[in-house]
């Protein structure tokens, strides 16, 4: 029996104008952008549709903008009757997955990620933390490198285990710099500094995690209607209390994306549908397993093409 997973992108997939065409054509899609504006009491939809790009890419704007666009696209896509057996999201995308699974309401999801973005932005003084993508080195030798550098007094850790040979490290600026140099000595092909505003998914995010707990405690959370494969453990979870615990851990723990995809495949998923702007996750999944089917829904045209393809396959 074919199983389907809906997956939702994280920061880096945003683009000015995302969701605009479909929202202008369909009132029910536009309604999500209107709801987000009301919940946050800011003109988020105007920022999403018109920019400027510099403002959209600020963490506390990017996060609610991506969640809003992805959920609006999901609502349009689900009218076809195609349902998921599992949902998952990359970092911020995990919150989109939680809205999709009925764990939190859309409005609470938008609010939570706006606050999450603020806490992440403020956790470490600007310029003191950084992230870098390490290409061509396996996780075990890279973990040895980050442990050695951290023990020397410059915190750095594995942040995103995205796909074979693509791992992001995060931590203090000096720690990332030293770990990058040592990773090259250990055989990494390339080390690419990332243009981010902080050391996300590192131990330096613990202050943000404590603040986030206060926000999540104030929101209503339900057990998941669809199992959510969680970043921190790469395991399917349905319990609301367990999900909340893992959301807190997620801020300072690695995103186990490769493991999450492998877990879903092991559970019978052979079709992944990325819902949201861009095709970042589709590219990563292709590197993890070339045999699975991968589709991307980023606008009305691609949504209809995926619906037609799946109906043809009788999924």
Task: Write out the catalytic residue numbers.
Answer: 91, 201
Residues 6+ apart with CB under 8 A from 64: 36, 40, 44, 110, 111, 113, 114, 117
Distance (Å, whole) CA 298 – CA 277: 5
Residue with tokens 């939190």: 104
**Lookup: tokens for 207:** 């202050």
**Lookup: tokens for 139:** 């996780």
Which phi and psi angles does 208 have, rounded to 5°? -65, -40
Positive or negative, the CA dihedral 267, 273, 275, 277 is positive
Q: Would you call the peptide bond into 38 cis, given omega within 30 degrees of 0 as the criterion?
A: no
On whether the CB atoms of residues 276 and 8 are closer than 8 A, the answer is yes
Residue with tokens 């933390």: 129
**φ/ψ bin of 274: left (φ > 0), alpha (ψ from -120 to 50), beta (otherwise):** beta
Angle, vertex CA 161, rays to CA 160 and CA 165, nearest 5: 125
> Which strands make up the sheet holding 190-193, listed edge to edge?
156-163, 166-172, 129-135, 190-193
Q: Is 193 helix (H, G, I), strand (E, B) or coil?
A: strand
**How many Cα atoms are found within 13 Å in the side-chain-facing hemisphere of 137?**
29
């Amino acid at each position: 029996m074919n199983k389907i997973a809906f997956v939702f992108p994280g920061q880096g997939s945003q683009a000015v104008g995302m969701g605009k065409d479909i929202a202008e054509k369909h009132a029910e899609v536009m309604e999500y952008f209107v709801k987000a504006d009301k919940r946050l009491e800011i003109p988020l939809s105007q920022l999403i549709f018109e920019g400027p790009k510099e403002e959209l890419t600020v963490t506390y704007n990017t996060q609610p903008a991506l969640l809003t666009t992805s959920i609006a696209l999901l609502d349009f896509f689900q009218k076809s009757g195609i349902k998921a057996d599992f949902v998952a999201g990359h970092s911020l995308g995990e919150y989109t997955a939680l809205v999709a699974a009925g764990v939190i309401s859309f409005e609470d999801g938008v609010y939570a990620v706006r606050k999450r973005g603020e806490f992440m932005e403020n956790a470490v003084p600007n310029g003191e933390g950084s992230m870098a993508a390490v290409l061509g080195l396996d996780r075990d030798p890279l973990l040895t490198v980050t442990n050695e550098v951290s023990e020397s007094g410059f915190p750095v850790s594995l942040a995103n285990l995205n796909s074979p040979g693509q791992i992001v490290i995060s931590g203090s600026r000096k720690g990332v710099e030293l770990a990058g140099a040592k990773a090259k000595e250990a055989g990494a092909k390339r080390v690419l500094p990332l243009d981010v505003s902080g050391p996300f998914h590192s131990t330096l995010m613990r202050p943000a995690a404590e603040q986030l707990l206060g926000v999540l405690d104030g929101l209503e959370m339900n057990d998941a209607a669809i199992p959510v494969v969680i970043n921190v453990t790469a395991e399917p979870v349905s319990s609301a209390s367990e999900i909340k615990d893992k959301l807190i851990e997620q801020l300072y723990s690695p995103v186990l994306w490769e493991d999450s995809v492998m877990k879903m495949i092991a559970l019978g998923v052979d079709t992944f549908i990325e819902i949201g702007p861009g095709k970042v996750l589709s590219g990563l999944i292709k590197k993890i397993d070339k045999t699975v089917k991968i589709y991307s829904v980023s606008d009305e045209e691609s949504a209809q093409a995926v619906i037609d393809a799946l109906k043809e396959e009788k999924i």
